A and B are shown apart, each in its own frame.
Chain A
Amino acid sequence: MIDLLLKTSWLVPCYGLFGGLATLPWSTRAITRTGPRPAAYLNLMMTCLGFLHGAFAFRSLWGQPAQSLTVPWLNVGELHLSLILELSPVSLGALELVSGLSIIAQVFALGYMEKDWALARFFGFMGVFEAAIGGLALSDSLLLSYGLLELLTLSTYLLVGFWYAQPLAVTAARDAFLTKRVGDILLLMGMVALSNLAGSLDFTDLARWAPTAHLPMWQATLLGLALLAGPVGKCAQFPLHLWLDEAMEGPNPASIMRNSVVVACGAYVLVKLEPVLSMSPVVQGVAIALGTMTAIGASLVAIAQVDLKRALSHTTSAYLGLVFVAVGLHQSDVALLLLLTHALSKSTMFLGVGGVIATTTCQDVRELGGLWSRMPATTTAFLVGAAGTVGLLPLGMFWAMYRWMVEPTVPRWTLLLLLAVNFLTALNFTRVFALVFGGVPQPKTRRAPEVPWPMAVPMVSMTVVTLLVPLMLERWQLLLSRVTTVTEGVLMLDVPLMVALVMSGAAGVALGAWCYLRRGAVRPVRLPIAAVQDLLSYDFYIDRIYRLTVAAGVGAIAQITAWIDRYVVDGLVNAVGVAAIFGGEGLKYSTTGQLQAYVLVFLLGVSGFVAIATLSRGVMPF
């Protein structure tokens, strides 16, 4: 039985898909009598089944070697493309994480989306969303991963554009799709090149091929950059980062998934591609540079945001930047650890945020305040999530970051980067906490009640899970490296580093508290130089730069081509037609009936022809 469950664990992502399909009768309004709720329950039930199935498979696989499953997909001539799934503790663990978070998000959505008329459609999208992420966790072939990444792009498009009558949601959905698509197509190019160079698209084969392949440096670099572009788009890294900020227009339960596991998908593929990327030092340099820029830049931008969700989504970009740096430094273990802890704690924060938005119908931090006494569970969730996201001593992220800092090969500047990001994030979270939960109640928060149970249950459960992360890490020995053993199975205790890490967070909290929580603090805080504040709050004006360069450029080129098409290419055709008509009309006056005139024209023509033929003798063949 257990064996059967393990063998069929490829089905786990399909549960989400089936659930999504099962909602169709309700989302297409073929069934209206029951209301949309049965669809939600159906989808939720399928996800739970998937979770249980995955849990059994995970348990029976624990300690066993990885298995793989191959489905032939396309055979043309010599080319054989297969879709390959890998069943390993890591992949099944990731799958469980996805299913678990999906359950949390869906139960939360039962409360959050209670009054939405399109509840069934939302759950249908969530089913597809979950299936794509779950499939990515299991996939061991770049082709399948690519397909699923694109499916994720689609689900992001659908979920962000869920409220399709809202103008901001509309452009956000489009921008999310296009930004990710640019990365995806570059990844596709890399994939096509890789298929020709390596002859296989399985991650396992690629990892074996990469060290032995001796490609010219320029080729390896171009290949690596193309492969890097996909994850850059998915993980919202500079320069393809704007979509995540805009995507916050979508419903919050989807944002929970998006900020935790969806962005992690790109990084997961990146980790799997690491052997190929490391063929070129330039690619690693670019990965590290992009990661660093995003980590610092997004942390700064986050502090200047007034939108509750956007203030948090920018820190997601920042943490994924750290993951990029880790992958660039060949520290895949650290990268996965960062992804795990970040996913758990960030989703807890977003649950709290969702609670606030659901009860106050407001996500502008300037209009919120004093919620701590009114919504204790929500406040706790937010606080615990925030504590788990920054390096606060006993919680998850501290250990992930610390694990990275004691890695023997880690360069000095990475420590500084970590401390800086930790400081800025702590400052930002303190600011958000102070504005939303601290201070005196505002008109919009005065009568805010605590969230109802469908939202409270997932919130509290995730709070507990976040608190338990260090225990999980300890229990499953995730803090120990699988590749390079950190001093023989025992995590070194380096007290100065620990203190530095904690102090960076504490400094951020202190600064934030001094600015926002001290008596008589002026809200909102204005920086001394307004231009700097504007620069940060408008995200370095990058969206405007894009609008003026890329978007305007494509539009202008399109207009020019259309003009050419209309007046040059088609104009020529029409000119021939007009010439034919005029020629005919004109020639009809030459038919005078005078024989002499005809003979004259004839003679002139013949003599002209003879003259040409004589003069061009030797040039022409006759």
Chain B
Amino acid sequence: METAFPWLTILTLLPLVAALPIPLLPDQDGKTVRWYALGVGLVEFALLAWTCLTQYDGHESGFQLVESYPWIPQIGLNWSLGMDGISMPLVMLTGLVTTLAIAAAWNVTKRPRLFFFLILAMYSAQVGVFLAKDLLLFFFMWELELVPVYLLIAIWGGAKRRYAATKFILYTALGSLFILVAALAMAFYGNHYTFDMDELAMKNFPLALELLLYAGFAIAFAVKLPVFPFHTWLPDAHGESPTPVSMLLAGILLKMAGYGLIRMNIEMLPNAHIYFAPILAILGVVNIVYGALNAFAQRNLKRRIAYSSISHMGFVLLGIAAFTDLGISGAVLQMVSHGLIAAAMFFLVGVTYDRTHTLAMDDMGGLAQQMPRTFALFVAASMASLALPGMSGFVGELTVFLGFSSSDVYSPAFRATVTVLAAAGVVLSAVYLLSMLREIFYGAQSEKLAGVEWSDLKPRELVISLCLLAPIVAIGVYPKLATQAYDTKVVEVATRVRNNFPVVARTQNSRFYAAVLNAPKLADATATGAAAEVAID
């Protein structure tokens, strides 16, 4: 299915190519560069939206707009791009959040050329990760995006920026090695050497190898998502990075891991998924509760929201582990929704930090009197984050809850325990967010803020926040806006993974799985169902 016009290549390369002339721009104090970068971001976002709205068909489940050109044929690397229901919403999210992050970086005065160059390079890499249809190209894009983040934290970060940046790069680079190893193993297996995702998904690996491959991908993505216990880079990275980078980190980079889990682990390795899914579910719940408890204990504003990200990404894991179309749909929706909400939260934190120059909640208090508009938007973002109905967070978490609790793969006791614990996490999210609002905004003004020059939200900041909040409310009020983009795809993924279930379920005999899964009963039921279908045919 070759399209005449290379939409996706243009989308992927435009920001990077546009970033190249930045060093040559005549620019005295960084004002031209920022307008230039914003213009590129807007054009890219407009193109993205145009492509997704007019060229993409939500009723098809396979890759669309596929393009494939040999790049380095000696190693089998193809420049091969495609868009499907899982990547489309995330690409849109990337476009929106990155463009807004450029607008949020308006006041960067330190080396603005390099800053905007890196952000635009990152833009390309992010779009590339979501659109890559070649596993090696995916790895390439994945690595390409690490370098700008490292530099952005290491140069423009807070006091402990070196430590945070090094930790970030070590963690994620080590993690991504696993992607490379697994990709090579998959490509070399069998008599057909390929990196194409569709073809890889068609290969039948022996179970032992499939489990190893799954584990490799899972570790890489667990670092990025992040999953307990690989999460400790995230609070440091978030806490130290400048506002736009925090927005990108929380808004998009974490989603790459969720995307990878669905794309590689579920779609390509469905047999191993059955073995790992209960573990993912348990880790998901641990993430939710552990992240929420840690968030409550943080006294630094950015760290608190960073831990809340860990908590919310647990829902993505839970949805992925659910084995139902609802669960996977919830995972995608939760990714989109958290991308918007986390970006909004970090942006508003940045807005307050610009005024107060502190992130310590002990030093803040009574900001509402000076910054009522910021206060109002902060409340709105917090409500979205604590899953208030009418906001996208609620729809995402509700769908995950429904998807997981209706999953007949797990035993009822396991389902009930997981759901109740996750619900406890939701209550905790209200606890830490409301206590945060109370300490920062309510009450009398803190004495430690005596010398602050106050100013409420500027128009630019207002527009950025509203651009993030508007889709949050729109999806919350009418979720079909988002779900129609990937509904077909999700159903297809869930069907495929469930078809494999009976085969594998029969062979497993461990006590852990017997306690957690409903397997034997379900396998028998499906087998009789299949037999009945055969008889009818």
Contact = CB atoms under 8 A, between A and B. Distances in A.
Interface of A: 28, 72-79, 146-148, 150-151, 153-154, 158, 161, 164-165, 167, 169-171, 173-174, 177-178, 181-182, 185-186, 188-189, 192-193, 195-196, 554-555, 557-559, 561-562, 565, 569-570, 573, 577
Contact of A77 (B229, B366, B491): B491
Contacts of B478: 73
Interface in B415-463: 419-420, 423, 426-428, 430-431, 434-435, 437-438, 441-444
Interface residues of B, number: 60
Contacts of A557: 293
B297 A561 contact: yes
A75 B487 contact: yes
B494 A569 contact: no
Interface in B354-405: 366, 368-369, 373, 375-376, 379, 383, 386, 388-390, 394-395, 398-399, 401-402, 405
Contact of B406 (A158, A171, A182, A196): A196
B498 to A, nearest CB: 11
Contacts of B526: none
Contacts of A79: 326, 402, 406
A561 B294 contact: yes
A210 to B, nearest CB: 19
Contacts of A75: 480, 483, 487
Interface in B294-321: 294, 296-298
Nearest to A163: B442
B434 A77 contact: no
A76 B487 contact: yes
Contacts of B420: 189
B297 A171 contact: no
A77 B323 CA distance: 13
Given A73-B478, A74-B479, A170-B443, A178 B487 contact: no
Given A28-B373, A196-B405, A74 B294 contact: no
Interface in B131-181: 167, 170
Nearest to B457: A28
B296 A555 contact: yes
B441 A76 contact: no
B226 to A, nearest CB: 11
Top-10 shortest CB links A-B: A562-B297, A147-B389, A77-B325, A170-B442, A570-B232, A558-B296, A558-B297, A561-B293, A76-B329, A558-B293
25 contacts: A77-B487, A77-B494, A78-B325, A79-B406, A147-B390, A150-B388, A151-B388, A164-B368, A164-B375, A165-B366, A165-B443, A181-B427, A185-B426, A186-B423, A188-B423, A192-B401, A192-B402, A192-B405, A196-B402, A558-B294, A558-B297, A561-B290, A561-B294, A562-B297, A573-B232
B19 interface: no
Interface centre among A148, A154, A577 (most CB of B within 10 A): A154
Contacts of B379: 158
A554 B290 CA distance: 12
Nearest to B386: A181
A7 to B, nearest CB: 21
Contacts of B383: 154
Given A189-B420, A565-B232, A174 B480 contact: no
Interface of B: 167, 170, 228-229, 231-232, 290, 293-294, 296-298, 324-326, 329, 366, 368-369, 373, 375-376, 379, 383, 386, 388-390, 394-395, 398-399, 401-402, 405-406, 419-420, 423, 426-428, 430-431, 434-435, 437-438, 441-444, 478-480, 483, 487, 490-491, 494
Contacts of A167: 443-444
B377 to A, nearest CB: 11
A573 B221 CA distance: 18
B334 to A, nearest CB: 13
Nearest to A568: B229
Given A77-B325, A77-B491, A78-B325, 13 more contacts: A75-B487, A77-B487, A158-B379, A164-B443, A167-B443, A169-B442, A178-B427, A188-B423, A554-B428, A562-B293, A562-B298, A565-B232, A569-B228
Given A74-B399, A554-B431, A570-B232, A165 B368 contact: yes
A300 B116 CA distance: 67
A570 B388 CA distance: 32
A165 B369 contact: yes
Contacts of A182: 427
B431 A193 contact: no
Contacts of A173: 442
A74 B483 contact: yes
Nearest to B330: A76
A151 B473 CA distance: 13
Contacts of A188: 398, 401, 423, 426
A76 to B, nearest CB: 5
Contacts of B375: 164
B489 to A, nearest CB: 11
Contact of B390 (A151, A169, A577): A151
A168 B329 CA distance: 43
A283 to B, nearest CB: 17
B395 A171 contact: no
Contacts of A161: 442
Contact of A165 (B170, B390, B435, B444): B444
A170 B438 CA distance: 7
A150 B389 contact: yes
Contacts of B427: 178, 181-182, 185
Nearest to B437: A174
Contacts of B399: 74, 76
A182 B424 CA distance: 9
Contacts of B294: 558, 561-562, 565
A192 B399 CA distance: 9
Contacts of B232: 565, 569-570, 573
Contact of A76 (B389, B423, B426, B483): B483
Given A76-B329, A161-B442, A554-B428, A185 B423 contact: yes
Contact of A154 (B231, B388, B487): B388
Contact of B419 (A158, A171, A189): A189
Contacts of A185: 423, 426-427
